[in-house]
Amino acid sequence: MKQPGPGGEPFVYLASQSPRRRELLTQWGVRHEPLLPDADEDAESLEAARPNEAPARYVQRVTALKLEAALARLKRRGLPPAPVLCADTTVALGRRILGKPADAAEARRMLADLSGRTHRVLTAVAVGRGARRWAALSTSLVSFDTLTPTQIRRYVEGGEPMGKAGAYAIQGHAGLWVSRIAGSHTGIVGLPAFETAGLLRAAGLPIL
């Protein structure tokens, strides 16, 4: 069942503040409308990890929580019905979850830990429409070159690591350090193309 937007075209609500996810949906020709938290919503608390929680379990649980919060938001605001899309990305070094750095010092530590090693990037995606839910998980491997303290310091001073899982953005300057990836480049950016398209098709959107 296709949901018409304000202009009569099917669309999806994107419950994410990530400009990269908006850009990817636009690139794929998917019409989308923002569905962002209200000022009194404690959205950050949804991302808290539980003790000893496995990275894959963590990112899927957080995405499911975000989706339920967004669907409640949609109902509360009385907006036109349409599928709601949520996603969450985390970086994992073994079982250790590397979320968004709290400050520059933590960003430097994360990048030093990733230097010269291969880590996982996990992006969970979920779509909800009415009482129905669809979900998928993208897992990719990313190998970093060995970084010097000067490279790390300059990168952190540029501000790019802040707000990014693992303290880096592959589509930015950190992409120069990536020697190899295995998996989904768009998943590493924050919204895996293949998995997202499958979920949106299931929810009734016309996707190529």
End-to-end CA distance of the chain: 16
- Catalytic residue list contains 88: yes
- pLDDT at residue 3, rounded to an integer: 45
Domain ranges of the chain: 12-202
- pLDDT at residue 208, rounded to an integer: 80
Domain 12-202 has CATH 3.30.70.1230: no
- pLDDT at residue 46, rounded to an integer: 86
Catalytic: which of 88, 103, 113, 145? 88
- List the chain residues with pLDDT less than 50: 1-6
User: pTM for the full model?
Assistant: 0.91
